[in-house]
Each structure stands twice: as structure tokens, then as C-alpha cells.
Amino acid sequence: MSAETPASPEVRKENRFKVWRQTRPFWAGLFTILASVPIGYLPYGDVRLGNITLAMATTAGAGALIIGVLLFTLGLTMWFQPIVRVFAGVAAIVLGLVSIPVSNFGGLVIGFLFALIGGGMSAAWAPAPPVEETDDAEHDGEPVTSEETAYASDTEAETEAVMAAGVPEQAHGPATDTTIDAKGGRNSAG
């Protein structure tokens, strides 16, 4: 399969999402978004068990809602602005810690743990190094023959000869006491 061969639509969609996911702290953003749900919802939610209503409301409900919205926003920031991943990760950790006294022990500890995990993953994430093309990739996995290697080395030698002929050699003056080698590599001005 060469680069010009179009892929099927199923493979292309799958590869686009996979590439998108691998170029940003995807799992960190997901954990941070999941942390926002229990932290922001539990102070306002009610659990009904038959005729019994269990209210989780606290006096700091507005603070819990703000923390939940901020965590949700930080999770989206990790996905769509990966350049600020360290700031978003540290902010998620701080908000997770603040949610312990503000939002029912950090959303019953579930939201707190998700915020710490997501923030830590975001702060620790680094983009993958760029992939270098090899000679094998040009031949679609076929082994390189000795004729192709000889042709490539002849072409490179001709290219170097043409480049050398077109670029004049720079003149180097005589070494003096004021050159870089003098005085331990320090340059003297004056």
C-alpha cells in the first residue's frame, strides 16, 4: 500500500481519532472531566430511597459548583490546548485539594482522586518525538537491493560534487593570540 492509495473510510476515521488522541493528554483530560461531575453535582443532588430523601446539600454549594465547572473547563483545555497542559494539571490538582473541605470531601473522595490523577497525568505528559523517515519506508517494506544502494550513493556523490563546485571555500586567516583558542576560549574585545 503506497501513500497515494486511499484508505477505506472506517480506517481513516479511526486513525484520525487515534492521531488526535495521541497528540494531547487525552486520558488526563478525561479524568479531570470525570472529576468535575461528583464534585459539582453532589452538593445539589438528592438521593431518593423509597420515601426517604437523602440531601447532600452543604452551605458551600456555590463553591463546589465553581470547582466543578473549573475542572470541566480544565479538562477541555487539556484536550484542545495541550500547550498549557502543565498549568492545567497543576490547577486541577489544586482544585481537587480545595474540593475536600468545600464539596463533601471532594465529591465523596471519587472526584478528588480523579482530579489528582488527571492533574498529575497532565503535568507529566510530554508530546512524542517526531518520527523520522527511514529508507525502508520509501520502499513500502520491500528490502533494499544492492543496485538501489549503489545508485543512491552515486547520486549523493554527484550532488556533493555539484554543491562543492558552486560554493567558494572560505579563507581562514592565520591563528593569533586573540583567537578563540587563546585565554581558555574567552574572546577579548579591543
In total, the chain counts a number of residues equal to: 190
Q: What is the predicted pLDDT for the residue at 59?
A: 66
58, pLDDT greater than 60: yes
From CA 84, how far away is CA 81, in angstroms rounded? 6
34, pLDDT greater than 80: yes
Contact 114, 61 (CB under 8 A): no
141, pLDDT greater than 70: no
- Digit-coded pLDDT (tens) for 78-108: 999 989 999 999 999 999 999 888 887 777 8
Q: What is the predicted pLDDT for the residue at 100?
A: 87
Q: What is the pTM of this model?
A: 0.59
Residue 162: pLDDT band (50, 70, 90) is: low
Q: Of 27-31, 112-116, 130-134, give the lowest mean pLDDT range.
A: 130-134
**Grid coordinates of 79:** 484536550
Place of cell 543512491: 152
Where do the H-state alpha helices sit in the chain?
9-22, 26-41, 61-80, 85-102, 104-108, 110-124, 135-138, 146-166
Q: What is the predicted pLDDT for the residue at 30?
A: 94
**Grid coordinates of 66:** 465553581
**Grid coordinates of 8:** 477505506
Q: What is the predicted pLDDT for the residue at 167?
A: 53
- Digit-coded pLDDT (tens) for 174-190: 555 555 555 555 555 55
